[in-house]
Amino acid sequence: MYDIFEDIAALLHRLPSASTRADDPSSCQPTPSLTRMREAEVLALTEVHNAADGSDPLLDKLRELTALKHEIDERLSHLIVYSRHFVWPRPYQLSVVAKATGLSISGVRAISGRRREMEEVARNLERSDIRGILTPGEVRLEKSLANLEALASKQGWPTVVYRLAGTTSSADVTVKRATDTKKITSVKLPAELSYRIPPSAPVHVSLQNTATEGSVSCEITVDGTVISRDEADGAYVIASCNGTVP
């Protein structure tokens, strides 16, 4: 009669693989260390079985290992996301991460693009990703912005200046910052907003005339070079400037 506890223990703590046994016949027998691990496993399985009033040891172990697999998969996903979006000064290449994990390049790309995992990594690191475009709500904004400013200075990110003007006295403004898009109401004109934003990131500012007459205009400069201009004249019109940081 076989013992299911001993069988489970033997499969959890296995002999060396067949490829290593060819030149070493002694490897067909468990070592003293392996025997002790199997005995400890049998004892643990028995204790759980008795405490749970006769629960099935095989199903219990399957549930335990499934939960562990889910945890490992989650940790793996977070590290993949970290390698692609949070490592300075540049992310790991897809091919390098794929080789390390045994995944395909498309598999790594799919995992690293999951926003939920990106938000979880940002929350635990308490900083934005390397492009400065993700700041989840769980991250304290003040700390994230402080970290981002320090990283921007270290990395030499360009200075983006949004210049707002017009003949109207004020306007409602929407502006793309390094970490988010912010809406500001009743901004007095003229005005100037300055941010450090990483290369290749999109930049945008728009302002709407809230009066029945007058004009509004916008201009975006990157380290002093104009990359976008727009103006509009009339009631409730919108001027919009867009571009990408070189």
The answer to whether 13 and 34 are in contact (CB under 8 A) is yes
Return the percentage of the chain with pLDDT > 90, whole number.
57
What are the pLDDT digits (tens) for 147-200?
666 767 767 889 999 999 999 989 999 999 887 788 999 999 999 999 988 888
Look up tokens 């400013």; give the residue. Answer: 149
The answer to whether 37 and 14 are in contact (CB under 8 A) is no
Per-residue confidence band for 25, with pLDDT thresholds at 50, 70 and 90: low
Q: How do beta strands 159-166 and 215-222 pair?
A: antiparallel
The answer to whether 192 and 159 are in contact (CB under 8 A) is no
What are the pLDDT digits (tens) for 47-77?
888 887 768 889 989 999 999 999 999 999 9
Indicate the average pLDDT of the chain: 86
Instruction: Please give the Cα distance from 179 to 115 (Å, whole number).
Output: 15
Name the residue with higher pLDDT: 233 or 54.
233
Per-residue confidence band for 129, with pLDDT thresholds at 50, 70 and 90: confident
What is the pLDDT at residue 138?
46
Return the percentage of the chain with pLDDT > 70, whole number.
87
Helix residue ranges per DSSP H, 86-222: 94-101, 105-112, 115-125, 141-155
Structure tokens at 206: 């728009």
